[in-house]
Amino acid sequence: MSRIARATPLLVLGLAVALVLVVLLAVGIGSVQVPLADTWHIVLAHLTGSGQVDDLVADQIVWRIRLPRVLLAALCGAGLAVAGVVLQALVANPLADPYVLGVSSGSSLGAALVFTLGAGALGGLGVSSAAFLGAMIAVALVFALGQRRGRLAPTRLVLAGVAVGYLFSAATSYVQLSAAPNELRLLMFWLLGSVAGAQWSQLSIVAVVVVASVLLLVLYGRRLNALLTGDESAAALGVDVRKLRIGLLLLASLLTGTLIAVSGGIGFVGLMIPHLVRLVVGSDHRRVLPVAALFGAVYLVLVDLISRTVDSPNELPLGIFTAAFGAPFFLWLLRRNKSVG
């Protein structure tokens, strides 16, 4: 076993601890500061269902307002990073991100319609539902156009994704032009991603989808590795390439669609985190997937913290910061690593 393979369990453990700390820290910071120890007590009291909470205001802020949003940020970060890893492997393209199959353009149109025309536009659907519906329609279209006699060819799929993306973007732009300024601001905010609207009620669905997806994908890690060596080679290793690709593309689309429905189009995380993680732990998916999930979670919790504190009490969209902080770091890492290019 190589050095990095032996070090990975330690890295995973370290990131898991870091995630817990960052979550507690983020929950405590804001217009009302809550000390780390108090945050810990409040969360523990709720989790165990016992214990006294003395400070009811702090309890409201920590448990009702901040924790759902911080957890949603963590889930989105983990989900997007993992979706990025898998899509890059499935379409054999390093430029692929979770939105490569048109998910974001479809959901943007769905959201734009509801923001500008109101819930009546799509039969009473809210923004999240409309975004999810739009995402699934776009993906279905890309799948239909990207297949040829039942085979999904990666290049064709990516091109279909690009074409469908432009088509939906054109429609979204048209809708945007007819929107009132205040609607446009809301829509802009949504398009750049935000977890400000997090609620406990939707969190459980997102958590189930993200956790189940990550576990399932880790199980398929060995087969994804086989796919890295090419379709023919994977077939010779006993992998049913066609079934694997369709199944995992559907899973990744469902995952991305769910995330974008609750958080909008958070960019960069799903493109760069996978590359960043590979630079550190190599390409074996059984290492890349868990590390990417945890790293993505930590990263987005921090980014969300910045987005709501840097210009407090105003909030800024996540999409601005994910790239503003991530890109320089990624470029630095890229220059340090001699094995790339």
Partner 1 sequence: MELNLERVCVRIEGRPILSDVVLSVPEGSFVGLVGPNGSGKSTLLRTVYRSLKPSSGVVRVGPDDVWQMSARVAAQRTAAVLQDASATVGLTVAEVVALGRTPHLGLFDRESAVDGDVVTESMDRTGVLAFADRAFSTLSGGERQRVLLARALAQQPRLLVLDEPTNHLDVRARFELLDLIGELGTTTFAVLHDLDLAVRSCDQLVVLDAGAIAAAGPVLAALTPVVLREVFGVAASVERHADGVVRITYEAKPLAD
| 280 binds partner 1 per the rule CB under 8 A | no
**What SS3 class is residue 226?**
helix
| 272 binds partner 1 per the rule CB under 8 A | no
| 312 binds partner 1 per the rule CB under 8 A | no
The answer to whether residues 43 and 87 touch, using CB atoms and an 8 Å cutoff, is no
Among 155, 178, 233, 312, binds partner 1 (CB under 8 A): 233
Comparing CB distances to partner 1, the nearer of 105 and 225 is 225
| 228 binds partner 1 per the rule CB under 8 A | yes
The answer to whether residues 20 and 12 touch, using CB atoms and an 8 Å cutoff, is no
Whole-angstrom distance, CA of residue 262 vs CA of residue 190: 10
**At closest approach, how far in Å is the CB of 225 from partner 1?**
6
Sites for partner 1 among residues 104-143 (CB under 8 A): none
| 278 binds partner 1 per the rule CB under 8 A | yes
Which residue is associated with the tokens 């054999």?
A: 92
Among 122, 237, 302, 323, binds partner 1 (CB under 8 A): 237
| 220 binds partner 1 per the rule CB under 8 A | yes
**What SS3 class is residue 74?**
helix
Nearest to 86 by CA among 203, 244, 207, 294: 244
**At closest approach, how far in Å is the CB of 243 from partner 1?**
9
| 232 binds partner 1 per the rule CB under 8 A | yes
DSSP string, 271-293: HHHHHHHHHHH-S-HHHHHHHHH
Angle between the N-to-C axes of helices 221-228 and 241-263, in degrees from 0 to 180, rounded to the nearest 10:
110
Please count the other Cβ atoms lying within 10 Å of the Cβ belonging to residue 125: 18
Nearest to 19 by CA among 302, 230, 260: 302
Angle between the N-to-C axes of helices 67-90 and 285-309, in degrees from 0 to 180, rounded to the nearest 10:
140
Comparing CB distances to partner 1, the nearer of 97 and 231 is 231
**Backbone phi, then psi, for 88, in 5-degree steps?**
-60, -35
**At closest approach, how far in Å is the CB of 31 from partner 1?**
45
Whole-angstrom distance, CA of residue 337 vs CA of residue 31: 41
Sites for partner 1 among residues 75-104 (CB under 8 A): 92
Binding string, 183-202, against partner 1, x = CB under 8 A? --------------------
Binding string, 151-190, against partner 1, x = CB under 8 A? ----------------------------------------
| 225 binds partner 1 per the rule CB under 8 A | yes
Q: Interface residues with partner 1 (CB under 8 A)?
A: 2-3, 92, 219-220, 222-223, 225-226, 228-233, 235-240, 278, 282-284, 339
